A and B are shown apart, each in its own frame.
Chain A
Amino acid sequence: MVPPSSHPVWRDLITGRKTLRSDSVALNMLLYNAKLKMSRGAEPEEEIELIHRAHALFEKLEFCLQDELAQLLR
């Protein structure tokens, strides 16, 4: 089950504190671009938007991101 977007793991994911191994091109590109944006100094509202994007991708692709979900919650 995908944790709610308020879960702290999403912030860890977009800042790179939490890393995942994935074959999903969409997920890898999303996370890399999120980390780039965070490294350039994202505003708080941009950070929230990045978290929502990562959460939305997991919600949509939950059926094929089971291994990534397990890594996320490990």
Chain B
Amino acid sequence: MLLPISEVNRLIRLGRPLLLAGSEEALSQLDRGDWIGGTISYFMTPDGGRRSDAEVYVAELPADAVTCEARLYECSDLPSVCQNTPYDGYTLLILPFGGETHQRFALGAPAYKDCFVSPVVGWVAGVPLESIGTRRAKVFLGREGRSSEDAAVAMHVVLPPEKAAEIDIFNIFRPGDGPAIRFPETGFSAKTAFVDEVETSFAEYYRAHGRSGAAPLTADYCGTIVNVSIQCVDEASGEVQFYAPVFEKAVYRFAKPVADYSSTFADALRGEHADAGAFCCNCILNYLFGKLEAKHTGQLTGPMTFGEIAHQVLNQTLVRLRIVDRRQPG
């Protein structure tokens, strides 16, 4: 829910552990307390997509959480995020866009010990779109009244033994019928790619085939489709820049175009999929390319972010955390 600063400060003073998202100006006005936050000004709300610099998005931690521990991670500590995730619980993680922790986590998380076994969910903090390149995203550790452009913040949450955290994703993109694309190296940029096994200038391929930034690269992770979004073509270096890394040996295909983001999300989030969950976020690129301002995307609310975290960093994807009953196998 989006709340005015006075109301957020009231919740902070009640001592409730909170996950917050808002503009730097808004987050800087909050009292010290048991919260973590990251900068973003775009949100999914019950009234549709919306920008707000004055309000703060609040996600309260589950009422039945046993403990919540907020802490800041410098880059060198980042690999321990998964190991520090409680076995009966999960971690909410916020990374500042373009910071060293963003780069390191995006590249390294799949290799971290306990990654995928320990649910780590969260988002990449950003800046107002008109301020890209002039302002830096920040994360906040409320207990210490501290903010950072490079470090990450995390909330480690312990659940009762009968509960479990489950991450699911809604990706409106599906792989297109184009050629298979592989990259020679893991990274946030690529000069060349193997397109149907032929080494090619990826920037030239991208331009020649009239691709737009709206259609991400997709990879089929054993049935889960993972996107990597194109940021730009760097004309000076001839490299294509990505919002998340491509991985060596992974097979990518450009996604099929999506005609109507709003109705596609709304259709996907009906019935049993309508549950708002304990936390949810969606991508700023979906907001932008899907023209989601004032449009509904189902009942889910949360920040529209510069990257989503579902174990690893994703793009153009709606991520949701649900707390489920840990049923014993029959």
Select one of A21, A36, A53, A61 contacting B249, CB under 8 A.
A36
> Does B222 count as interface, using CB distance less than 8 angstroms?
yes
> Does A9 count as interface, using CB distance less than 8 angstroms?
no
Contact B329 A62 (CB under 8 A): yes
Contact B324 A64 (CB under 8 A): yes
CA of A36 to CA of B247, assembled, Å: 9
Contact A28 B249 (CB under 8 A): no
Contact B164 A63 (CB under 8 A): yes
> Does A51 count as interface, using CB distance less than 8 angstroms?
no
Contact-size category for B: 20 to 34
Of chain B, the residue at the smallest CB distance from A32 is B221
> Does B250 count as interface, using CB distance less than 8 angstroms?
yes
Contact B311 A29 (CB under 8 A): yes
**A30: which B residues are within 8 A, CB to CB?**
115-117
Contact-size category for A: 20 to 34
Select one of A31, A56, A66 contacting B222, CB under 8 A.
A31
**B222: which A residues are within 8 A, CB to CB?**
19-20, 22, 27-29, 31-32, 35
Contact (A63, B223) CB under 8 Å given A25-B311, A36-B247, A40-B249: no
CA of A40 to CA of B167, assembled, Å: 28
**A40: which B residues are within 8 A, CB to CB?**
248-249
Mask, A34-48, CB within 8 Å of B = 1, is 011101100000000
CA of A66 to CA of B330, assembled, Å: 9
Binding site for B on A (CB under 8 A): 19-23, 25-33, 35-37, 39-40, 53, 56-57, 60-64, 66
20 pairs across A/B with beta carbons < 8 Å?
A23-B168, A25-B310, A26-B116, A26-B167, A27-B116, A28-B223, A28-B224, A29-B110, A29-B226, A29-B310, A30-B116, A30-B117, A31-B221, A32-B219, A32-B250, A36-B249, A53-B116, A57-B116, A61-B164, A64-B327
- Complex A-B, nearest 3 residue pairs according to Cβ-Cβ distance, in ascending order: A32-B221, A30-B116, A28-B224
Binding site for A on B (CB under 8 A): 87, 110-111, 114-117, 119, 164, 166-169, 219-224, 226, 247-250, 310-312, 324, 326-329
